[in-house]
Amino acid sequence: MSIIQSPVLFQHHGEDIYLFTLKNRNGVEVGISNFGTIIRSFIVPDRSGNPVDIVLGFDRMEHYLDQSYIESNSYLGAIVGRYANRISNSSFELDSKQYQLSSNHPPHQLHGGYEGFDRKVWKLESASCNPDPILILSYLSKDGEEGFPGNLTVQVSFELTDTNELIIKTEATTDKATPVNLTHHGYFNLNGSGTIEDHLVEIPASFYLGQHKDMVPNGEILAVKGTLYDFRSVAKISDVWNLDIGYDQSFILDKEYGEWGKAAMAYSESSGIKLEVFTDEPTVQFYTGQHLNNSGGKGGTSYSSYCGLCFEAQHHTNAVNIPEFPSTILRPGELYSRQTSYKVSNS
């Protein structure tokens, strides 16, 4: 097991950009950059022992700065924030004060604004093997950034274990009350290429969030039974979905609030690779990448609809505007602390 830091790849806003590679004893490798905390690669053995990179991304980190990629709103492999998903009308009220946010997905804000955490240079806090390879990165989101109040200090740790589990721990503190809802926005393809419609999926959730046509939750909590959203038993995506729209839906997990438990499972019969997602978050956003439109992917490939799927563990989307949902407000003196893990295996 090891953790390897690359030479400086380039500079962004005067800051050095690196790639850190975490390796365990089983041939699993995870490449993470301090630019956007992007997981650029996640290499695992298939059932025959051949290495497969199961996440979408680019061979060169500079490509994440291309204007065409930025305008695609893909967020490949990044930690997104200060607030994941959509905030309706790019505004919210907190302690009797109305806040207007940047509106990068008019009229709403998406994944933190025009330049969210996915496009920031994060500070290296440590990179060590004690005993597992652990990378810790931090970022200070200043008061007023993208319209959010408070200086928010965020720290994310990535740990790769010898049980083939990548554990992501996120902590944050603030000096003013502010909404916080972070998630990892990795796109997985357990075949390594092609589409994900043949993947088997399981999501232990009896309810999902109702939403408007513009994908913003409307406060309704709906039962999955008898719908296209019932993944309580393992199902092949292509057997249940509407191909024209795919999935971009938030599921309420069947576990107690704050409890650690399974959020999702995906399996490829072709490669034999299984991905299990665990979290202490209450929901998971299942997205099948229907809006992907990125050229210049790894090996020169292009990413189009359904080339990858996301399991974004987080709090209820748009909770800052729906009082009935669990609060996403962090106040001074409190610690925001969340954990999600991605465990891989093969058979």
Query: DSSP state, 35?
Result: B
Which residue of the set 63, 105, 185, 199 is catalytic? 185
- Locate 73 and state its tokens: 């709103």
The tokens describing 224, both together, are: 């999955």
111 is catalytic: no
312 is known as an active-site residue = yes
CA dihedral 109→220→255→235, nearest 10 degrees, is -90
Q: Which of 63, 312, 315, 316 is catalytic?
A: 312
CB burial of 144-181 (b: ≥16 within 10 Å; e: otherwise) equals ebbbbbbbbebbbbbbbbeebbbbbbbbbbbeeebbbb
| Contact yes or no for 24/1 (Cβ under 8 A) | yes
| Cα(220)–Cα(147) distance, integer angstroms | 27
- Please state, in angstroms and rounded to a whole number, the distance separating the CA atoms of residues 82 and 106: 18
Q: Among residues 227, 240, 174, which one has the least CA distance to residue 201?
A: 240
Max CA separation in the chain (angstroms): 59
Q: Which two tokens stand for residue 146?
A: 């993208």
CB 317 within 8 A of CB 209: yes
The residues annotated as belonging to the active site are 185, 312
